[in-house]
Structure 1
Amino acid sequence: MDPSLLPDVDNNQTFAEEPFDLDSFSITMALLYFIVCTLGLAGNSLVIVVILKLDKMSSSTTVYIMNLALADGLFMVGLPFIASQSFLNHWMFGDTVCKFVMVLDGINQFTSVFCLTMMSIDRYMALADPLRFARWRMPHRAKIISAFLWLCSLITILPMALHFSAEQGLCIPDVSSDAWWLGVLSYTFIMGFALPFVVMTATYAALLLTLRSKQLRSAAPHKESPRLEQQVTKMVVAVVVVFGMCWLPFYTLNFCSLYESGPVLTFTRAFEFAVLLSYSWSCANPILYACLSDTFKGYFRTLLCPATKLSPSLHYSTGRYDLNDTDVLDVTVLA
């Protein structure tokens, strides 16, 4: 819940009372917010259109990617509101809109993280034992699991989001005590970063070990194995590193804010940049698909260049495997 966790309530109130001062930092941040919001909405909208039009959610993987893109796209909807508050040092949309934006922001943030985590588990099941986990990877089951993830996000974030108020001129949480605030930070850090990060890292590490083990056991290594392992490795590094780089500074500065005794301009600006960085993660996923997934490269090319025909090999390649061969898998691994 990015905008919710502002450095310090008293500090924010101090800044809200200061007159609006247009400086180079404010202009730069406003421009960056605009770029992130535009890329995020355009990129995730493109992913949604590609999946609905070309893939038609034919596998569990693309069901999760669809929900991830939807959550990331909706996550961008709240960005203009947060950007205006950062730019003007004032919330001008009223208390009701403040609560609504915080609920929307929190649900989509947690759903995005939960979907990405579920995708890592799905990728592991696809390679570890595809026959055993086949029934859990059916598209209709993935849709049910995705709906459950949205519900979990709502339950997770609703109690905290409703504590937000715009009564002090900024959309900020009503902090009753430092202990309460520390509890909120710890809760969101564990649920929204630490636990998903550990699960993703563990499942992707197990996935790489599984690939290597299957390659070593095979008497006649399939020609696709090295390419598949290389693609998986790239995606593992990209997903884990980008997720960590975008979210770790945000949570780190939130915990550091507990020890800030007064308004510090450098810290406040660093925090504003960390918030922007956390939002930029939502526009990074489509870029990862376009750069690291052969399947989505073909989909994007077909959608944006209608004259280009979609290769038959790309159809259903996001989750297919040979039922007669448990050692050689044909699975395109997506983030």
Structure 2
Amino acid sequence: MDGWIFSTLQTLWSNQSTPDHVHSLEFLHTANGFSITMAVLHLVVCIMGLVGNSLVIVAILKLDKMSSATTVYIFNLALADGLFMVGLPFVAFQNFQNEWIFGDLACKLVMVLDGINQFTSVFCLTVMSVDRYMALVDPLRFARWRTPKRAKIISAFLWLFSLLPVLPMAFHFSVKYDLCMADTFMMNWWMTFLSITFVVGFALPFLVMIIFYTALVMTLRCARQRDGGSSTPESQRLEKQVTKMVVAVVVVFGVCWLPFYVFNFYSLHNKNVQLVFARGFEIAVLLSYSWSCANPILYACLSETFSRHFRSLLCPHKNVTSTHCNRDTEGYDLRDTNGQDITVLA
């Protein structure tokens, strides 16, 4: 969907008729330091996203075999993020060359897949926040809700649900003026769609993540206080690790996606688009794509399980202990703090 709305910005800009706007438009589409830098950054983000998410997918299929609900969600998250990167070169080419050369069918297909993968990625991360709460607070109580089979059913539903807000846009996207863009006469409808997208694709998921992650951290702290302030090194490490995970996931999600929506709403309310704003808009779009290559980095840094999996894949000659989660109750039971494996993201 990032490509959709950047195309809309190009349309808004192209509709400006003053000499200053024409000069700015020509300057934007001239090969200069900024455009070349953005093209390189698009390439870097695309490569990092494809490589990082491919490593996650291979690690799950080869070493974990989706043996837990959590890794099922992470597999679908990595798949959506990886596919999200596939559409990036097409969008980057249009933004850099101000031209779409791939045909009308490719225009519709790229934009629809772009939106589906974006929504699925956000929904998977949101479901994972609920899953982490159930796994770490009371894994035995929620065991029947956290089987790999149920996780696969929920993941399939997330993919189908992501299709609903996106599919209608395929009928309103086509190649016009050598650009892949939406119908410009439907701006009121577009504003409604953007509002729904903001609520469903950012505001509600962000709120759910904050609620469940906050509840998770507070539950861990309350458990420590119930023990009279005395806690084992293992439980202290868990609380510290979970807190880092909560802060990292929420901050990265907000930083990568909030500027994207701010620029979108501003561009629809203010059609007097300036060069500086358009460049900032392009940076915001790139930032939203970079979120998909940030997720594997979070796994590597915050998940001990995935750190071992990555080391095993990248350095197979070294003796790395294989780690598998319990099929139904992987996580950390607050009622038993002795000898359990701590897995925050996996």
The unaligned stretches of length 5 or more in structure 2 are: 17-21
Q: For residues 21 and 253 of structure 1, do their structure 2 counterparts lie closer, same or farther at Cα, with a shift above 3 Å needed?
A: same
Distance 2:70 2:252 in 1: 20
**Number of paired residues?**
333
Maintained 8 Å contact 1:106/1:161: no
In 1, the alpha carbon distance for the partners of 2:259 and 2:53 equals 24
Residue 299 of structure 1 is aligned with which of 284, 298, 309?
309
For 1:48-63, what aligned pairs fall within 5 Å after superposition?
A: 48-63=57-72
8 A Cα contact 1:124 1:207, kept in partner: yes
Distance of 1:176 and 1:221 partners within structure 2 = 63
Query: Relative to 1, partners in 2 of residues 1:34 and 1:8: Cα closer, same or farther, differing over 3 Å?
Result: closer
Aligned to 2:19: none
Note if contact 2:56-2:78 (Cα within 8 Å) is conserved in structure 1.
yes
Per the alignment, residue 3 of structure 1 pairs with 3
| Aligned residues of 1:164 and 1:173 also touching (Cα < 8 A) | yes
Matches within 5 A, 1:252-271: 252-271=262-281
Q: What secondary structure does 2:176 align onto?
A: coil
| Letter of the structure 2 residue corresponding to residue 26 of structure 1 | S
Q: 1:84 to 1:256 in 2, by over 3 A?
A: same
Partner SS state of residue 92, structure 1:
coil
In the alignment, what sits opposite 2:210? 201
Show the 5 A alignment for 1:58-207. Answer: 58-207=67-216
1:240 aligned residue:
250
CA distance in 2, matches of 1:122, 1:245: 23
CA contact (8 A) 2:66 2:72 kept: yes
CA deviation after TM superposition for structure 1 residue 326, in Å: 3.1
For the aligned residue pairs, the C-alpha RMSD in angstroms reads: 2.2
State whether residues 165 and 172 of structure 1, in contact with CA within 8 Å, keep that contact through their aligned partners in structure 2: yes
- 1:108-148: per-residue Cα shift (whole Å, max 9, x none)? 00000000000000001112222221011001110111011
1:38-57 map, 5 Å: 38-57=47-66
Could you give the per-residue CA deviations for residues 222-259 of structure 1, whole angstroms, max 9, x where no partner exists? 33111011111111011000000000001000000023
Per-residue CA distance 1:149-181 (angstroms, 9 max, x = gap): 000001121112432111232111114344222
Letter matched to residue 13 of structure 2: N
Residue 310 in structure 1 maps to residue 324 in structure 2: no
Going from structure 1 to structure 2, the CA distance change for 1:53 and 1:60 (only over 3 Å counts) comes to: same
Which residue identity lines up with residue 309 of structure 2 in the other structure? Y
Change (3 A) 1:163 1:235: same
TM-score, normalised with respect to structure 2: 0.90
Cα separation, partners in 2 of 1:24 and 1:124, compared to 1, 3 Å? same
Give the whole-Å Cα distance in 1 for the aligned partners of 2:271 and 2:250.
Answer: 34
CA contact (8 A) 2:331 2:343 kept: no
2:35 matches 1:26: yes
Change (3 A) 1:278 1:86: same
Q: CA deviation at 1:278?
A: 0.4
What is the one-letter code of the residue matched to 1:156?
A: P
Unmatched tracts of structure 1, length 5 or more = none
- Letter in structure 2 aligned against 1:243: F
| Cα distance in structure 2, aligned partners of 1:228 and 1:138 | 23
Structure 2 CA distance for aligned equivalents of residues 272 and 322 of structure 1 = 42
The letter of the residue matching 1:97 is A
Residue 332 of structure 1 pairs with residue 343 of structure 2: yes
- Going from structure 1 to structure 2, the CA distance change for 1:198 and 1:154 (only over 3 Å counts) comes to same
Shift of 1:321: 5.1
Secondary structure of the residue aligned to 1:5 is: helix
- Which amino acid is the alignment partner of residue 332 of structure 1? T
In 2, Cα distance between the equivalents of 1:12 and 1:255?
Answer: 18
